[in-house]
Structure 1
Amino acid sequence: MTDANDRVKIVGETTLSDGWTRLSDFEIDYTDQRGETQRLKREIYHRGEAAAILLHDPERDTVVLVKQFRLPAHLLGDPSWMIEVPAGLLDSDQPEEAIRREALEETGYKLRDVRFLFRVYMSPGAITERVHFFYAPISQSDKTEEGGGLAEEHEDIEVLEVMVSDAMAMIERGEICDAKTIMLLQWLQLNRGSLG
């Protein structure tokens, strides 16, 4: 039995940009299911691995979200400040270690219990970004710092506490349109009964 990966051979790679992240142009020989090989060109954005987390206060039935500027939304004419769950690149850390760091930097919450949920490719047609999704129960006593992001990274993050029912309504109204945030809020809706 032939490994499916044997159907793809990388012929060449050219770096188109190497700024904030790297953009490459690939030439590949791709053998389809009929056994025919085609030479294809693909541009790939090397985003790397990231982690995202839903901070949920089960006693108060709230979630902690963040709001920050996103240039792509701005360029498309949508609201420039997006409401999202805390998230960030791994920066060579393990996923749980990275998301604990990001949650503290962005929201000021020091996490006790962190639960891994699943791993997702956010846009596998052109971006290498793979995101590790987590959930953490919190209480107000877990807020040990102000949050708001790191000044040296020019982060300008607003911390929001939102009732779960309001967050779900915000999705329907288009106020929350970030994929990772919608996925985690929907996970919460499906699993609230088992969270205690």
Structure 2
Amino acid sequence: MTKPIEGIDVPDARGRTGLDRVGRELSGNPDVRVRDVELLAAGWHVLRRTTFDYRRRDGSWSREQRETYDRGDGATVLLYDADRRTVLLTRQFRYPVYVNGHPDGMFVEAAAGLLDGDDPAAAIRREASEELGVLIGELEPVFAVWTSPGSVTERVHCFAAPYTAASRVGPGGGLAGDGEDIAAVELPFETALAQVASGEIADAKTILLLQWAALRGPFSREAAGSCP
């Protein structure tokens, strides 16, 4: 008798089954035919190997395999004070960047987190409160991006929102039960841009949002021109 497999036939540690079914019914691209999906690992997130046929530009078909890491979608927010020309970021230890060459793993980035079943706006309001103690009022959707499309399925919903001293109503710091130890980092906007150039800020979503703020957002020439 075949032993039931956690995450496929019986619930895994997070109560999930059928994890090998994701992607089998895709039909949006007639040049892609999914043949098989294998569950390679199901810890907190899910690693799959998918076999598919792909019709190349010359009309020939090739059989391909890709591994995908599914950690769910996320959301992030650039908090800014246009009057004082500051941004409010986080600083925390990130082991993956530490093991891949970052000097100490202490990463400066915009507040962010996984959706965990919430819609993107609700998720980032939750994360801003947990990480920075900020109660977000007005929230502006900026864009949604895939930051590592070759292997990671995550789409990050990017927002911007104003903050003031009055909107910092909680202690922040993250959730200790999740191992989080997050410090708030308030920087002049020009300093944050300079730290992108120097490599002190090396987080992709944060760089994208800072560039948006400079080109189209609250610190752009267009925004400055609209001020009385």
Q: Secondary structure at the match of 1:33?
A: coil
* Structure 1 CA distance for aligned equivalents of residues 40 and 99 of structure 2: 22
> What is the distance in 2 between the residues matched to 1:39 and 1:6?
15
- Give the share of equivalent positions with the same residue, in percent: 43
Q: Which residue of 2 is the match for residue 28 of structure 1?
A: 52
1:160 counterpart letter in structure 2: V
CA distance in structure 1 between the aligned counterparts of 2:174 and 2:159, rounded to whole angstroms: 19
The one-character-per-residue Cα deviations of 1:83-119 (angstroms, maximum 9, x if unpaired) are 0000000011010000000011000010110000111
SS at match of 1:5: coil
Separation in structure 2 between the aligned mates of residue 98 and residue 194 of structure 1, nearest angstrom: 27
SS in 2 for 1:6: coil
- Counterpart position of 2:181: 156
Q: Which runs of 4+ in 1 moved over 4 A?
A: none
Residues in 1 aligned to 2:170 and 2:28: alpha-carbon distance in whole angstroms: 49
Q: What displacement does 1:194 show?
A: 2.2
Distance 1:163 1:110 in 2: 21
Q: Deviation of residue 4 (structure 1)?
A: 6.5
Q: Quick one: distance in 1 between partners of 2:78 and 2:206?
A: 8
Letter of the 2:128 counterpart: A
Amino acid paired to 1:133: C
Match of 2:94 in 1: 70
Provide the C-alpha distance between the structure 2 equivalents of 1:128 and 1:7, rounded to a whole number of angstroms. 20
Q: Counterpart of 1:97?
A: 122
Measure the CA separation in 2 of the matches of 1:34 and 1:172.
42
Q: Which has the higher relative contact order, 1 or 2, with Cα contacts under 8 A spaced 6 or more apart?
A: 1
2:36 paired residue number: 12
- Structure showing greater radius of gyration is 2
Which residue is equivalent to 2:10? none
Gaps of 5+ in 2: 1-26
| Root-mean-square deviation (Å) | 1.3
Question: Offset at 1:70?
Answer: 1.1
Structure 1: 5+ residue stretches without partners: none
> Which of 36, 41, 52 in structure 1 is aligned with 2:65?
41
**Which amino acid letter does the alignment assign opposite residue 185 of structure 1?**
L
1:141 is aligned to: 166
Letter in 2 for 1:135: A
Q: 3-state SS of the aligned residue for 2:145?
A: strand
The letter of the residue matching 1:121 is: W
Give the residue type in structure 2 aligned to 1:29.
Answer: D
Q: Which amino acid in structure 2 is aligned with residue 12 of structure 1?
A: D
2: CA distance, partners of 1:30 / 1:48: 25
Greater fraction strand: 1
Say if 2:79 is the partner of 1:55.
yes
The CA distance in 1 between the partners of 2:108 and 2:76, in whole Å, is: 13
More helix by share: 1
Per the normalisation by structure 2, the TM-score is 0.82
- Mapped to 1, the partners of 2:28 and 2:44 lie a distance apart of 33
Task: Name the count of aligned residue pairs.
Answer: 194
1:22-57, CA deviations, whole angstroms, 9 ceiling, x for partnerless residues?
Answer: 001111111112211111011111122100100001
